[in-house]
């Protein structure tokens, strides 16, 4: 017999608290995107301040840029593993406020990077970015898990996708803040050819610190957020408290959630058909028999998409060189103007492709399913990368080519209307409550390992010649074709391994696990995209 409180969560109407939870949970993803996308223009400002004597056109060396990106991603890997596990051991709510506090502290710390000499500034900035990465990494599994456990089964995918879509707004706000700050500083300085280094130094610090404000505004609500009813009932085994917590946030009648008399005291919930009542430990033989395939499918898909996603976003630095305006043949943009133009192009791409991709996922995720969207996204990413990669150098024969930007925008659109979003959703739906946050953290950590490989590797691989402090690589054409091939591998692995979770309760998703080890009548293994495409099939099983 299923618990009434869980059934009520699955059937609850969409209410105000659902939208409030999207904003509260989404602020971590917002901060993640803000931090990632403000770094390219900030590195331009840092180059003007600390590399004026490098003889390399104020260019920050590739090793420094790669380190600033990679160290934050390394922190993210650690944060996902550590806080993901803590979310299952001591509760989502208890860890959630601590994660946000770490993110706020680190964002402010990035702006207050110690000293004025180049070595001190870069070392302290790297340290605070590592700390920020840990906080962001911890936010991933907690935000996804909390939203999945609060949502009803009919619109659960849309709610989790909406949380993840806050990344798009983080990109847009990051670009907007950079443009506003640079425009104000440039105007106040009288549009100088060479702004004062100490003033430019203040500008990039201010941009970084502003990123802490949105996260700080939600700190109170995170602390006040009750524990999810699913965690309280299924992990802490306190059904009474789960009922009380649910009443605090959702408008449901007591008759819908109050259990029968024999279940009104804190005790283990009644036996159900789910794996939640089993006591097998994490990483035991039984765990891998039940969940090993799902953990592999989530991890490999996230790994592959992040290799491609972070490469394509870092690829924007190559585009900027082609599209940045120049005042004249001998007159270059000053520090503020160059950072402004970088941010402007980021904002245009976000508005035209990134944010629409997130919105498309929110609209279609509970209509056509996770597996189809993920496969479609991987496939069209591959086609887009092949289309811009094979004839790459011919796009720049004369003037910057508008067709190139359209194809690049399409690639980013389908990464977000596709695996970049679905890989965040699926791990929050497949695993039992007592392993949900941990397994999401493992999947996300695998993704960020892919991001490190993509981010650091792409900086080297994309260069044909040794220039601007870069060593010789395989070139843009080969790099983009390789990324397209990685996307095709993601499409195939999704088809073979990923199970559909659309329209099912979280507890039903757990019970499907036994079907993945059975053999169908025709002798083939029962792969979930076909077997469990809808509730009727699972009900018959």
Write out the DSSP string of 363-429. HHHHHH-HHHHHHHHHHHHHHHHHHHHTTGGGGGSSSPPHHHHHHHHHHHHHHHTTHHHHHHHTHHH
Closest CA to 278 of 221, 218, 234: 234
d(CA 371, CA 505) in angstroms, rounded, equals: 17
Per-residue confidence (pLDDT) for residue 464, from 0 to 100: 58
Q: How many residues does the chain have?
A: 541
| 132, 374, 411 from 369: Cα distances, Å | 33, 9, 20
d(CA 18, CA 159) in angstroms, rounded, equals: 8
- Would you call 92 exposed, middle or buried from its count of C-beta atoms within 10 A (0-12, 13-18, 19+)? buried
How many C-beta atoms lie closer than 10 Å to residue 224's C-beta? 11
Write out the DSSP string of 261-302. GGGSSS-PPPP-SSGGG--PPTTSHHHHHHHHHHHHHHHHHH
- Would you call 521 exposed, middle or buried from its count of C-beta atoms within 10 A (0-12, 13-18, 19+)? exposed
Per-residue confidence (pLDDT) for residue 454, from 0 to 100: 84
- Would you call 318 exposed, middle or buried from its count of C-beta atoms within 10 A (0-12, 13-18, 19+)? middle
Closest CA to 134 of 109, 114, 159, 153: 109
How many C-beta atoms lie closer than 10 Å to residue 266's C-beta? 13
d(CA 303, CA 448) in angstroms, rounded, equals: 7
Closest CA to 489 of 497, 477, 499, 500: 497
Q: What is the pLDDT along the chain (541 residues), one digit of tens a residue?
A: 457 777 777 777 878 888 888 998 898 889 888 988 888 889 889 988 888 766 666 778 877 887 888 899 999 999 999 999 999 999 998 898 889 899 999 999 998 888 778 889 999 999 999 999 999 999 999 999 999 998 888 899 999 999 999 999 999 999 999 999 999 999 998 888 888 888 999 999 999 999 889 888 888 888 888 888 889 888 988 888 888 877 777 766 555 555 544 444 444 444 443 434 468 889 999 999 999 999 999 999 999 999 998 888 777 766 776 766 655 444 578 889 989 988 998 899 999 999 999 999 999 999 999 999 999 999 999 999 999 989 888 877 666 677 888 899 999 999 999 999 999 999 999 999 999 999 999 999 999 999 998 877 776 666 555 444 445 556 788 888 999 999 999 999 999 999 999 988 888 876 544 444 333 333 333 334 333 444 443 343 3
Do 304 and 382 form a contact (C-beta atoms < 8 A)? no
Provide the token pair at 204. 């990039």
Per-residue confidence (pLDDT) for residue 130, from 0 to 100: 95
Residue 219: phi and psi, rounded to 5, are -60, -45
pTM exceeds 0.85: yes
Do 206 and 182 form a contact (C-beta atoms < 8 A)? no
Per-residue confidence (pLDDT) for residue 540, from 0 to 100: 39
Per-residue confidence (pLDDT) for residue 520, from 0 to 100: 36
d(CA 350, CA 269) in angstroms, rounded, equals: 46
Per-residue confidence (pLDDT) for residue 398, from 0 to 100: 61
Residue 179: phi and psi, rounded to 5, are -65, -45
d(CA 186, CA 337) in angstroms, rounded, equals: 8
């Amino acid at each position: 017999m299923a618990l009434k409180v869980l059934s009520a969560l699955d059937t609850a109407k969409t209410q105000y608290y659902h939208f409030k939870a999207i904003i509260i949970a989404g602020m971590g993803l917002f901060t993640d995107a803000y931090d990632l996308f403000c770094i390219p223009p900030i590195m331009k400002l840092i180059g003007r301040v600390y590399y004026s004597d490098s003889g390399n056109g104020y260019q920050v060396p590739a090793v420094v840029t790669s380190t600033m990106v990679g160290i934050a991603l390394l922190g993210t890997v650690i944060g996902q593993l550590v806080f993901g596990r803590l979310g299952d051991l001591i509760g989502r709510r208890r860890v959630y406020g601590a994660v946000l506090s770490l993110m706020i502290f680190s964002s402010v710390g990035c702006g207050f990077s110690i000293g004025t000499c180049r070595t001190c500034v870069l070392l302290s900035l790297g340290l605070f970015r590592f700390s920020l990465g840990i906080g962001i990494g911890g936010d991933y599994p907690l935000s996804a898990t909390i939203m999945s456990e609060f949502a009803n089964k009919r619109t659960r995918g849309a709610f989790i996708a909406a949380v993840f879509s806050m990344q798009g707004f983080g990109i847009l706000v990051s670009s907007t803040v950079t443009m506003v700050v640079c425009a104000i500083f440039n105007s106040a300085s009288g549009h100088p050819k060479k702004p004062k280094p100490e003033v430019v130094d203040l500008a990039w610090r201010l941009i970084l610190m502003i990123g802490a404000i949105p996260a700080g505004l939600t700190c109170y609500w995170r602390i006040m957020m009750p524990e999810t009813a699913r965690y309280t009932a299924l992990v802490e085994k306190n059904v009474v408290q789960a009922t009380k917590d649910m009443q605090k946030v959702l408008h449901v009648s007591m008759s819908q959630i109050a259990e029968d008399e024999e279940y009104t005291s804190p005790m283990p919930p009644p036996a159900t058909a789910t794996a939640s009542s089993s006591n097998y430990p994490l990483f035991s033989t039984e765990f891998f028999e039940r969940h090993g395939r799902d953990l592999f499918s989530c991890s490999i898909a996230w790994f592959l998409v992040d290799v491609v996603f972070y490469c394509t976003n870092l690829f924007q630095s190559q585009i900027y060189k082609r599209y940045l305006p120049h005042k004249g043949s001998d007159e270059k943009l000053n520090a503020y103007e160059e950072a402004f133009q970088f941010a402007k192009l980021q904002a245009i791409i976000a508005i035209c492709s990134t944010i629409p991709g997130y919105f498309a996922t929110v609209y279609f995720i509970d209509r056509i399913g996770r597996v189809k969207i993920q496969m479609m996204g991987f496939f069209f990413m591959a086609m887009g990368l092949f289309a811009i990669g094979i004839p790459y150098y011919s796009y720049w024969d004369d003037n910057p080519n508008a067709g190139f930007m359209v194809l690049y925008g399409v690639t980013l659109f389908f990464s977000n209307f596709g695996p970049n979003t679905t890989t965040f959703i699926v791990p929050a739906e497949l695993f039992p409550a007592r392993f949900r946050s941990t397994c999401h953290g493992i999947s996300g950590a695998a993704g960020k390992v892919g991001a490190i490989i993509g981010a650091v590797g792409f900086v080297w691989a994309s260069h044909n010649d040794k220039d601007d402090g870069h060593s010789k690589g395989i070139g843009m054409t080969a790099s983009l074709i390789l990324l397209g091939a990685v996307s095709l591998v993601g499409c195939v692995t999704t088809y073979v391994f990923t199970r559909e979770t659309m329209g099912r309760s979280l507890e039903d998703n757990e019970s499907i696990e036994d079907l993945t080890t059975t053999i169908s009548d025709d002798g083939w293994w029962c792969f979930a995209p076909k077997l469990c495409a809808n509730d009727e099939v699972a009900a018959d099983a």
